[in-house]
Amino acid sequence: MVPVVLAYLADAWELLKPAVKIILDDEYKSVDIPCTKIYMAVQRACFADADPETVQVHIFGLIEQECEPHLASVLQSLAKQISDDPSVLLPLVHNCWLDFRRKMLFVSDLAMYVTCNEYTLWDGCQKLFHKQLSMTSQLQHQVITAILGLITDERSGKTTANNTSDFLKNLMEMFLGLSRYVFEKPFLDSTSKFYSEQAEKILQQSDISNYLKYVEGVFHAERKKCREHYFFFAACCLQLPRVLERQLLVAHVSFLEEGFKLLMDESLIDDLGRMYRLFSREDYLLHYLDRSLKSYILAKGEGARQEGSLHELHTSIDKIWRRCFFEDELLDKTIRDFFEGMGLHVPGQWECSED
């Protein structure tokens, strides 16, 4: 930077530095801050350089350096108050985060000319909070564990989303932008463990119909939470359905295949439609349903052929295919191939068929 820019920058920082300290120390209610003067000084320093971004980045660095020891002291003090009781720990951390965020938004407003493409002063200060929190590793570990416990309580019905929504969103925001191993992996591991245990409990007291309703409800609830709670973590929201599929569907495919036979025998339309919606989420899941359908046709087909009722069996399955499987092409091919393999002519979709 040329000397005139450095001079303007020094003038701006001479005004901005004490203002940042006043804000961090919560003294701005009793001490006047020359907001307009600071803004004009920062603007003049940025405009004086041919590359304003260079000046902006420099001011970012100065503000972060000023904030770092203050934040380190606050978090170290908080670490000394560590409690194993989440109801004590989380409110302390929550209030600390909101207080720091409030102060940084104030500083950001004060130096509002300082923007750098998509990077803002708030982004930098957020990363600073992450950095200092990670340096108090025991505190960070306990906070993450407590947040996951709160999510588990909400999932199990011990707390309601209405009571924890904003609280949880604010806490999770602290970990935005960190390595996936800091929050994302523990979150997904905790989710997997919870639903693995829940599925086992539900299976012990439910039939196929109730289990399918439970699974569909879980997917709906978790999709809603992704929109309201976890939207900070796009990777979590992308991977969460895969975790649910593994623990609620794939892990219990034998039970579901047996249940499929019962649903088909009794033509339980709503449940078969629900099963198709769950298994048609991904191609690899649909193949499990296709396998169940193949087994069912083989098991019923031989007896129906001997009794001369193969056409009636096909008509029954075709109705289910139309009403419950939404005329799925893969399942259509399975039905067609297996019945034709047993000697029954299956009309094409353009031919007249019995509804």
Asked if residue 173 lies in contact with residue 231, where contact means CB atoms within 8 angstroms, the answer is: no
The mean pLDDT of 77-96, rounded to a whole number, is: 86
pLDDT reading at 296 higher than 50: yes
pLDDT reading at 260 higher than 90: yes
* H or E element that contains 120: strand 119-120
pLDDT reading at 133 higher than 90: no
**Mean pLDDT over each residue of the chain, to the nearest integer:** 88
Q: Which amino acid is at 28?
A: Y
Cα→Cα distances 247→200, 215, 279, Å: 10, 10, 13
Task: Please write the tens of the pLDDT for every residue from 144-180.
Answer: 999 999 999 989 988 765 567 788 888 888 877 666 6
3-state secondary structure at position 273: helix
Cα→Cα distances 289→266, 280, 301, Å: 17, 8, 18
Task: Please write the tens of the pLDDT for every residue from 183-229.
Answer: 889 999 999 999 999 999 999 999 999 999 999 999 999 998 888 77
Beta-carbon contacts of residue 248 (< 8 Å; ≥ 6 apart): 195, 199, 215, 218
Ramachandran bin of 351, using left for φ above 0, alpha for ψ from -120 to 50, beta for the remaining angles: beta
- Rounded CA-CA distance 75/135 in Å is 9
Task: Please write the tens of the pLDDT for every residue from 311-347.
Answer: 999 999 999 999 999 999 999 999 999 999 999 988 7
Task: Please write the tens of the pLDDT for every residue from 2-49.
Answer: 788 899 999 999 999 999 999 999 998 888 999 889 989 988 988 888
